[in-house]
A and B are shown apart, each in its own frame.
Chain A
Amino acid sequence: MSKERIQISEDLYDIMPSDYQDLVKSATYGKEDRGWKDIGSSKELIEQHSLCAGCPESMAFRYILASLPNPEDTVMVGSTGCTSLVFPMVAVHNIHSLFGNQNAIASGLKRALSVRFPGRVKDVVVLAGDGATVDIGLDMTLQAWFRQEKFTTICFDNELYANTGGQESGLMQKGFVAKMAPVGKLFDKVRLPEIARESGCHYVVNCTVSKPSLVEKVIRNAVHVAREIGPTYLQLYTPCILEIGKNSMEGLQEMRDSEKPTERFAYKEYVSEPAKQLLAELAAKDKERKAAAKQLASQASA
């Protein structure tokens, strides 16, 4: 449904819960420069959620939803995990898939959308945990990349199965002892960003969500590259504070500690040549547009 048609019937407006009224009045659907800075001054596309207090995943959700370039024409595909507790509170079309099946669902969805809406930009964004992306769904993840499916895959990496009590996952770091993995991980963390690059992803980033401006940048880049060129992959560290024995206030520091240059979430980025060209073009257009807007504003004030 196009955003112009998202209007509440006048005669029933007063009975609509306020969150829906706010979405129509002040959400940033259709805003060209939407980003994390809109948080606080406009209605966010996420309502109250049921994640734990201080969960970095909730920060990640807020930044991602604020940064999607085209939320009214985006469909998100989720999978089993903590993320599936949030999707019911998200005002972007979304589909819950079978555990691990998210990239297969997204492949079909993206193809169907391009047939059904040939003249229109429709973005598909997969958002799943590390269990769904790397363990249970690795086959579907990789096959989608091999096939050069044009959508973005985001992995919320908390390095274990969090909402089932802390079992070992492929992305857990070597030697880590979790509640349900008392022996400690015997193997290295799966190097999925490198695998993504070798599997044909055109834009790959490994980082934490401690910096909203960085999250905004990588989300926008990933969606634009996926739209025009091919698959993109973001691996975002969203530590489970409960499972690593931290308090609610310590999530941010945990991410900052983990993104230091020698740590496992030091910022890593891979951009293919066609993607580099596209991003440079987009940056030039953006600069031009901003300069024109600035000029217009100065003329108006003169």
Chain B
Amino acid sequence: MSEYRVLPGPEHFLPPAAASMGIQLPNPGEAHINGVIASEEKAYEEAARQFLMAKVPTIFPGPLVLWAWNEKAAKKATAIRHLYNTLKDCVQPGQKAMLIPMPDYRPKYPKINPEVEINPNHPNLTIWHNKIDCCMFVGVHCHQANLSLKIIRGGTSCYTIAMCAQAGHEDAMLSFRDASVEKIMRLADTIKRLKGTVQPRLETAKNGASS
């Protein structure tokens, strides 16, 4: 088993792909936390804890859910809105839950507006601008998610979660696989259940995600 751990950065300018460091993807029914295979149950708890601890917990929905290209996508969008509303209700004063879209993957130089969107080619701009210290990707095509997750790990101290509809992401600090409406709802339920039991790290994250 690899000694390498996928941890919040900033790792360095060009962090290695976690796969090249020996990190493996979880099997169906499993997840990974920091590159170590874990049960899904444990991952729900950890993801909820990270969200509740963060000063600016943020969900980044991608094109696969932002655009209602089939019925399933529209249902996932509803679940994501529910997750965001739950998160907003569960955070304490001083914390700010955000929902920022990644509408497409065009490298929008130099026009990106980090207040309203995130772009996979320079996701660090949105992380820095909003001082996001924990984020979750959902509905982003795998190759673009990998690119973003690596850039975020390289240049920021943001904790990354991937709610992946395929086999998961090694480059996230925590990754689910086979994402579904049920899994998103279950994460919302876990956040609700852990509400008030987790202390937000408001002091340590005074300046948000560092550059």
Binding site for B on A (CB under 8 A): 1, 5-12, 15-17, 20, 47-48, 50, 88-89
Contact (Cβ within 8 A) A11 B108: no
Residues from chain A with a CB closer than 8 A to the CB of B66 are 8-9, 12, 16
Residues from chain A with a CB closer than 8 A to the CB of B67 are 5-9
Contact (Cβ within 8 A) A48 B69: no
- The docked-state distance in angstroms from the alpha carbon of A11 to that of B107 is 26
Residues from chain A with a CB closer than 8 A to the CB of B117 are 17
- The docked-state distance in angstroms from the alpha carbon of A20 to that of B106 is 13
- Closest B residue, CB atoms, query A23: B103
Contact (Cβ within 8 A) A5 B113: no
Residues from chain B with a CB closer than 8 A to the CB of A17 are 101, 103, 113, 116-117
> Given A50-B110, A88-B109, A89-B108, are A9 and B101 also a contact pair (CB < 8 Å)?
no
- A-B residue pairs in contact (CB < 8 Å), sample of 12: A8-B67, A8-B68, A9-B66, A12-B66, A12-B77, A12-B101, A15-B99, A20-B103, A48-B111, A50-B111, A88-B109, A89-B106
- The docked-state distance in angstroms from the alpha carbon of A12 to that of B66 is 6
Contact of B65 among A1, A9, A48 (CB under 8 A): A9
Contact (Cβ within 8 A) A11 B103: no
Min Cβ gap A129→B in Å is: 19
8 tightest Cβ-Cβ pairs between the two chains A and B: A9-B77, A11-B81, A88-B106, A9-B68, A11-B77, A11-B78, A7-B68, A12-B77
Min Cβ gap B12→A in Å is: 27
Residues from chain A with a CB closer than 8 A to the CB of B57 are none
Is the CB of B61 closer than 8 A to any CB of chain A? yes
Q: How many residues of B contact A (CB 8 A)?
A: 25
Interface set, chain B 43-76, CB cutoff 8 A to A: 61, 65-69, 73-74
Is the CB of B80 closer than 8 A to any CB of chain A? yes
Contact (Cβ within 8 A) A12 B100: no
Contact of A12 among B65, B108, B109 (CB under 8 A): B65
Q: In the complex, given contacts A7-B68, A9-B78, A10-B74, what are 14 additional A-B residue pairs having Cβ atoms less than 8 angstroms apart?
A: A5-B69, A7-B69, A8-B67, A9-B67, A9-B73, A9-B74, A11-B74, A12-B81, A12-B101, A50-B109, A50-B110, A50-B111, A88-B109, A89-B108
Contact of B69 among A1, A12, A47 (CB under 8 A): A1
Contact of A88 among B99, B107, B116 (CB under 8 A): B107
Contact of B80 among A5, A7, A11, A47 (CB under 8 A): A11
Contact with A along B106-138 (1 / 0, CB 8 A): 111111010011000000000000000000000
